[in-house]
């Protein structure tokens, strides 16, 4: 039990539709990151939110966007869904900071399985 909760756990969408995935971070964690994990692959970093602002982004197009709320929970939005967007979407929380000595342990939720048909 990591204290990171995600919803929904499974969903099916049609190509071209939009999807919103939600994440509640572990208590005391102010940084949320989102990852995409295709079948048989390691997770790929999408972006990170720290104090409600995007703070780092991986190699994903602008149709992948997010939000972080004052309680540090977060949403991942994907517009104009494509078949290749079918994957497990993982949310991870950590206690971010600006000091180089921050021991940043990152905990993952169970993920949201997205199937695009």
Q: Exactly one of 66, 109, 114, 116 binds other proteins (CB under 8 A); which one?
A: 109
For other proteins, which stretch binds (CB under 8 A), given 12-20, 64-72, 75-83, 84-92?
Answer: 84-92
User: Residues 27, 87: contact at Cβ < 8 Å?
Assistant: no
CB neighbour list of residue 38: distance below 8 Å, 6 or more residues apart: 44, 86, 87, 88
Q: Is 32 in the site for other proteins (CB under 8 A)?
A: yes
Sort 11 into a burial class: Cβ within 10 Å, 0-12 / 13-18 / 19+.
middle
Q: Is 67 in the site for other proteins (CB under 8 A)?
A: no
Q: Which residues pair with 49 in a beta bridge?
A: 32, 54
d(CA 52, CA 57): 14
d(CA 24, CA 39): 24
Q: Exactly one of 56, 61, 69, 77 binds other proteins (CB under 8 A); which one?
A: 56
> What is the nearest approach in angstroms of other proteins to the Cβ of residue 1?
10
Q: Is 114 in the site for other proteins (CB under 8 A)?
A: no
Q: What is the contact surface with other proteins in residues (CB under 8 A)?
A: 2, 4, 6, 31-33, 35, 41-45, 48, 50, 55-56, 58-59, 88, 90, 92-94, 96-111, 113
């Amino acid at each position: 039990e990591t204290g990171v909760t995600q919803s929904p756990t499974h969903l099916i969408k049609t190509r071209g539709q939009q999807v919103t995935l939600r994440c509640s971070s572990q208590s005391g964690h102010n940084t949320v990151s989102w990852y995409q994990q295709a079948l048989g692959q390691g997770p790929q970093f999408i972006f990170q939110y720290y104090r409600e602002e995007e703070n780092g982004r991986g190699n994903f197009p602008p149709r992948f966007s997010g939000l972080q709320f004052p309680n540090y929970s977060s949403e991942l939005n994907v517009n104009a869904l494509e078949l290749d967007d079918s994957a497990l979407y993982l949310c991870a929380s950590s206690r971010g900071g600006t000091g180089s000595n921050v021991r940043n342990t990152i905990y993952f939720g169970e993920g949201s399985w997205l199937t695009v048909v």
